């Protein structure tokens, strides 16, 4: 019988603003009891249902985050962040190599950045990217680290009393082959346009 999951969560951070720079740092610690885990849908080779949901007595998630931002006048701004996280979990009698083990799906290392430049009046060029480190996956697999870059253009304008934003973007600019979840290949590129109105 499943027990209810409970947790204590702690976070301590600091924010410092030194124009044109700002910095943020934080440490976190999550102490989770009776973590509810999903270990898979069927037992391999049998076609029979497994003990899909069960409690892990104790799971600890801890790490830190760093973020830095830069603003140069009204035209340019950039932000970069780094997250390190570590998971420690008790073993249970249900653990197998093929199981879907939720705590291990988190990467230890993540990096994100965003740069935005006003190239002409109310027109912006944006470049963003993310790095996700190697992590474990269900059924004993390891997912490789990957880096993805996204780019876009945005134009703001007014018509009467309404404000509009029109934009175009491309995700996965360099065509990186990667998986966010095991077995699901992400698209090589995604192109799109968008139009938003503010009343």
- Which residues are CB-contacts of 22 (< 8 A; sequence separation ≥ 6)? 15, 16, 68, 69
Q: How far apart (Å, rounded) are the C-alpha atoms in residues 121 and 116?
A: 14
pTM of the model: 0.81
> Does residue 88 contact residue 108 with C-beta atoms inside 8 Å?
no
User: What does the pLDDT look like over 61-97, one tens digit per residue?
Assistant: 999 999 999 998 889 999 999 999 998 888 776 665 5
Residue boundaries of the structural domains of the chain: 1-106, 113-199
pLDDT of residue 42: 44
Coil, helix or strand at residue 69: strand
Weakest mean pLDDT among 3-12, 149-158, 177-186:
177-186
Residue 140: DSSP 8-state:
G
**Angle (nearest 5°) at CA 106 between 105 and 107:** 115
User: What does the pLDDT look like over 14-48, one tens digit per residue?
Assistant: 999 988 999 999 999 999 998 888 765 444 444 44
Reading the block at residue 174, the tokens are 């360099």
Q: Which of 28, 1, 23, 24 is closest to 12 using CA atoms? A: 28
Q: How far apart (Å, rounded) are the C-alpha atoms in residues 46 and 75?
A: 61
Tokens 């976070």 found at: 11
Q: Which of 190, 198, 197 is closest to 168 using CA atoms? A: 190
């Amino acid at each position: 019988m499943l027990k209810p999951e409970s947790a204590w969560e702690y976070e301590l951070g600091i924010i410092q603003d030194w124009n044109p720079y700002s910095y943020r740092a934080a440490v976190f610690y999550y102490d989770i009891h009776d973590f509810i885990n999903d270990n898979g849908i069927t037992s391999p080779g049998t076609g029979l249902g497994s003990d899909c949901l069960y409690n892990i007595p104790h799971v600890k998630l801890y790490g830190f985050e760093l973020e830095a931002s830069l603003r140069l006048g009204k035209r340019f701004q950039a932000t970069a962040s780094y997250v390190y996280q570590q998971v420690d979990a008790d073993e249970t009698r249900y653990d197998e190599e093929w199981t879907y083990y939720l705590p291990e799906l988190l990467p230890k290392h993540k990096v994100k950045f965003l740069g935005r430049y006003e190239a002409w009046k109310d027109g912006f060029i944006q470049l963003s990217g993310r790095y996700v480190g190697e992590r474990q996956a269900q059924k004993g697999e390891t997912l490789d680290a990957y880096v993805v870059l996204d780019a876009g253009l945005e134009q703001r304008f007014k018509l009467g009393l309404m404000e509009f934003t029109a934009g175009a973007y491309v995700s996965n600019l360099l065509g990186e082959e990667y998986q966010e979840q095991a077995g699901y290949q992400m698209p090589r590129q995604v192109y799109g346009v968008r139009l938003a109105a503010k009343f």
